[in-house]
Amino acid sequence: MNTEGKIPSVYGTMKKILIYLNSPQEQKNLKGNLAVIRNSAGKNYEDVTEVWPILFPLIPQEFLGTGPLTYKEKALLVTLQLYAIGQQGSDKMPDDESNSIGSSLHKIRGEYSTSLDKRFNTMLTATTFDEFTYHLRQIFKMGKSNNAFSANFPALAEDLFWYQNGRNKQICLKWARDYYRPAAAGENDQ
């Protein structure tokens, strides 16, 4: 996938994966692939072998590990699972350019504030990556029920990589700032 001699990024790789999965040549496989990916959510990483033929060919060689999944592989896998959950029953490609999931959730917060706030805060206090992503999946399922919810999946993949790489507190703080910021004039007036 790294054809230009540039060092690949998690953000750029996720963007390329989504473009590829939604390309005209892949349309016939899209729903089946998304179902396979969606069904892998929440399972142990070692037990999702049905996803590897979909994901690994799309990941740059530099990201592929030799032992347990690398942080980059996990970030891309979890993001792809969340994308598959979000796309269930939808034919449109998400186009949210928000900086973070906090920004994306902020857009729907008014309608669901009590339950969403509780889930969001529980996610932010998670002590492991697996616990964090479990709560993120629950929030995603809740957000998916709102047609206005979308996410910047490349930015999410990048955040999930850095979360695992020792910057979990910074990622949570960034998401919380974006989520709880005051509403701009005219925002949430649906």
| pLDDT more than 90, % of the chain | 56
Angle at 177 between CA 104 and CA 115, to 5 degrees: 60
DSSP for 93-106?
PP----SSHHHHHH
| CATH number of 132's domain | 1.10.520.40
Assigned domain for 133 exists:
yes
DSSP H/E element including 151: none
Q: Residue 100: give the domain boundaries.
A: 10-180
Assigned domain for 2 exists:
no
- Other beta carbons within 10 Å of 6: 8
Residue 16 burial (CB < 10 Å; 0-12/13-18/19+)?
middle
What is the overall mean pLDDT for the chain? 86
Residue 8 burial (CB < 10 Å; 0-12/13-18/19+)?
middle
Could you tell me the pLDDT band of residue 2, with boundaries at 50, 70 and 90?
very low
pTM of the model: 0.88
Assigned domain for 69 exists:
yes
Q: How many domains does the chain have?
A: 1
Taking only the tens place, the pLDDT of each residue in 85-99 is 888 766 555 566 777
Could you tell me the pLDDT band of residue 10, with boundaries at 50, 70 and 90?
very high
- Please give the distance of CA 53 from its chain centroid, rounded to a whole number: 19
Could you tell me the pLDDT band of residue 11, with boundaries at 50, 70 and 90?
very high
